[in-house]
Amino acid sequence: MELSDRLKQLPQQFFASLVGKVAKAKAEGRDVINLGQGNPDQPTPAHIVRSLQSAAEDPITHKYSPFRGINELNRASAEFYQREYGVEVDPEKEVAILFGAKAGLVELPMCLLNEGDLMLLPDPGYPDYESGAVLANVTFDTFPLKEENQFLPDYSAFSDEQKEKAKLLYLNYPNNPTGATASKEFFEETIAFAKENNIAILHDFAYGAIGFDGDKPQSFMSIEGAKEVGIEMYTLSKTYNMAGWRVGFAVGNPTIIAAINLIQDHLYVSLFPAVQQAAADALTGDQTSVRELVALYERRRNRFIAACESIGWRATAPAGSFFAWMPVAEGFTSEAFADYLLDKADVAVAAGNGFGKFGEGYVRVGLLVDEERLEEAVDRIGQLNLF
């Protein structure tokens, strides 16, 4: 049997190629320091694990969940936004429980757009944004995130045709892959742009907890008028090291939330209730582990950037996320540089062109090994005398 045309059009899974290269090197017995992926390396906090264990022992959680999630998680999501960002959220009308934020990001175009409609995606950006456009059979244009503009879009550079035709625009701050953050003023500009051009906004807030130098990342939903034009998606994967649990949620515009809930009524019967209960306890419980995690990533960032400076590999330190966006050495493309580091130094990084055309010239480094291994990776790279 043949695959459908729609599946044939899906972009190649970028990280699958990277995983294959790393696996081959490890199979050869090489000591690879893998800085190429975005998988949190710390365990889920013990109190969240205990909550799951307790909930899983209750036979009621073995039954089908309510289609739109258990009330406790909806309320916890609203409580979280009130506590962390001062945002009032109606748990019944302004929250959608997600099978991880990735599912929400991919299904949203199917909720809001018709075949042939236009959506706008950041470049560089999370590769699966494009997957959502392909599965919805809609067209997409990308807009550049450039270092000279602090990796923020320049709305004045959008064409009249884009502003007239586009119905949905994706943003992501703290940003993957660049580590950039957005300001209140930028989000105010975004809301004005969305209203003027009748474009819905999706803000991917996956790294919302991870900001450095005492600066808490800005929530799009905390800006006046944000609910009128869009939603924000949050995942527990990064904040609570729950990547494998596949749980997230969206908050914001009630019409968009209703659309997500409707499509999910037909795709799923919600998450395992015990996971939902543990997620609710994570959001409303003691947040000490989150503060400790952010401090850990900041220490890693500081040690990594200092080590890079010592070998002449200079870049702007990330303001948020757990990634560093590093320029390639002179004479290399992104992919050639990434392959060279793996072949000659046994250090894996993600080639920037895998995140879009404007990722060329960079590699993404995940700060997801301990500080000593980060410094060892930089030392190995330094011995190649590239900088």
Nearest to 51 by CA among 244, 282, 283: 282
pTM of the model as a whole: 0.96
Q: What is the pLDDT of residue 16?
A: 79
Q: How far is CA 59 from CA 7, 64, 273, 274, 292, in A?
A: 39, 11, 10, 10, 34
Give the other-Cβ count within 10 Å of 62's Cβ: 11
Adjacent-strand bridge partners of 121: 142
Q: Which CATH number fits domain 5-44+288-382: 3.40.50.300, 3.90.228.20, 3.30.379.10, 3.90.1150.10?
A: 3.90.1150.10
Q: What is the pLDDT of residue 37?
A: 86
Give the other-Cβ count within 10 Å of 359's Cβ: 22
Q: CATH 3.40.640.10 in the chain: give the residue spans.
A: 46-284
**Angle made by CA atoms 27, 31, 36, in degrees to the nearest 5:** 90
In a structure prediction context, what are the per-residue pLDDT tens digits for the chain, which is 387 residues long?
Answer: 889 988 888 887 777 788 888 999 899 999 999 999 889 999 999 999 999 999 999 999 999 888 899 999 999 999 999 999 999 999 999 999 999 999 999 999 999 999 999 999 999 999 999 999 999 999 999 999 999 999 999 999 999 999 999 999 999 999 999 999 999 999 999 999 999 999 999 999 999 999 999 999 999 999 999 999 999 999 999 999 999 999 999 999 999 999 999 999 999 988 999 999 999 999 999 999 999 999 999 999 999 999 999 999 998 999 999 999 999 999 999 999 999 999 999 999 999 999 999 999 999 999 999 999 999 999 999 999 999
Q: What is the pLDDT of residue 19?
A: 87
Q: Which CATH number fits domain 46-284: 3.40.640.10, 3.20.20.70, 3.40.50.300, 3.40.50.10540?
A: 3.40.640.10
Task: Provide φ and ψ at 68, rounded to 5°.
Answer: -105, 25
Give the other-Cβ count within 10 Å of 291's Cβ: 11
Q: What is the pLDDT of residue 5?
A: 87
Task: Provide φ and ψ at 76, rounded to 5°.
Answer: -65, -40
Do the Cβ atoms of 361 and 352 come closer than 8 Å?
Answer: yes
Q: Three-state SS for 249?
A: strand
Q: What is the pLDDT of residue 44?
A: 97
